[in-house]
């Protein structure tokens, strides 16, 4: 499974490097994305007090705006150099810690920690989890950088009733291909049941809020 995850990581990095310059425009094309980001921010701020947090799969740094405005100290993790470069341009001399490329690979965090501090919260916004096939490995290694009782919020792609029923009878996550101007990416739909199972060793499942009209679900876990 880890080999499959490494291949997925490289394919995702290549995809996001190619679309990095257009990424913000893609998101802003849909007004609902701004509403979703505000919803995620409200939930995160309500649960995570000021302190050190991890922006995991932070893309071009759009969440850094509200994280910084609410006095969080932020560690920014984005494996795509194209996306990360845009985020760094947006926030020069900001005090934000931008992880280097070799530190962003979560599959290796159990070998070498990307940083020594333990964060009190993690945000993984706009379907970061859907880019990951081995979510059990993700939760195992994410737990290594989180303090006890730290909160993890991640926004995942929602799926319709037909897909939910189909997923009940499949051990593996459903796969979808996303295309943009000739570039494509493989994404994975993980059921809530699968997420509960993959995370239960290290996390308490708090809730899943379906934002059905926006095409996402917001899941909240707490580090044991």
Q: What is the pLDDT of residues 128-172, one digit of tens each?
A: 999 999 999 999 999 999 999 999 999 999 876 445 434 444 556
pTM confidence score? 0.90
pLDDT value at position 164? 45
- Rounded mean pLDDT of 121-132? 96
- For residue 8, name the pLDDT band (cuts at 50, 70, 90): low
Yes or no: say if 189 and 130 are a contact pair by the CB < 8 Å rule.
Answer: yes
Helix intervals (H) in 48-185: 63-69, 81-90, 135-143, 161-167
Q: What is the pLDDT of residues 29-79, one digit of tens each?
A: 888 899 999 999 999 999 999 899 999 999 999 999 999 999 999 999 999
Reported CATH class of domain 2-223: alpha beta
CA-based torsion, 129, 79, 222, 154: positive or negative? negative
Yes or no: say if 40 and 18 are a contact pair by the CB < 8 Å rule.
Answer: no
Q: What is the pLDDT of residues 76-96, one digit of tens each?
A: 999 999 999 999 999 998 899
Higher-pLDDT residue of 110, 185: 110
pLDDT value at position 161? 42
Residue 114 has pLDDT above 60, yes or no: yes
Higher-pLDDT residue of 185, 36: 36
Strands 119-124 and 97-98: unpaired
Which region among 3-7, 18-22, 150-154 has the lowest average model confidence (pLDDT)?
A: 3-7
Distance CA(65)–CA(74), nearest Å, equals: 11
- Rounded mean pLDDT of 7-23? 83
Task: Please state the φ and ψ torsions of residue 62, each to the nearest 5 degrees.
Answer: -65, -35
pLDDT value at position 169? 41
pLDDT value at position 6? 64
């Amino acid at each position: 499974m880890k080999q499959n995850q490494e291949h997925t990581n490289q394919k995702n990095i290549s995809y996001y490097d190619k679309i990095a310059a257009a990424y913000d425009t893609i998101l802003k094309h849909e007004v609902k994305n701004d509403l979703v980001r505000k919803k995620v921010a409200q939930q995160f701020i309500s649960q995570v007090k000021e302190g050190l947090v991890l922006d995991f799969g932070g893309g071009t740094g759009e969440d850094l705006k509200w994280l910084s405005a609410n006095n969080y100290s932020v560690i920014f993790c984005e494996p795509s150099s194209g996306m990360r470069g845009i985020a760094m341009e947006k926030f020069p001399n900001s005090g934000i810690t931008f992880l280097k490329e070799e530190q962003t690979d979560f599959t290796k965090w159990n070998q070498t920690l990307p940083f020594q501090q333990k964060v009190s919260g993690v945000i993984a916004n706009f379907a970061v989890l859907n880019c990951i096939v081995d979510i059990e490995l993700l939760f195992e290694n994410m737990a290594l950088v989180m303090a006890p009782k730290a909160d993890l919020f991640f926004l995942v792609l929602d799926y319709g009733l037909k897909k939910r029923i189909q997923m009940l009878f499949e051990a593996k996550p459903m796969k979808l291909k996303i295309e943009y101007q000739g570039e494509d990416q493989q994404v994975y739909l993980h059921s809530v049941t699968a997420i509960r199972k993959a995370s239960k060793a290290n996390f308490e499942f708090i809730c899943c809020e379906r934002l059905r009209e926006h095409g996402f679900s917001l899941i909240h876990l707490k580090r044991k």
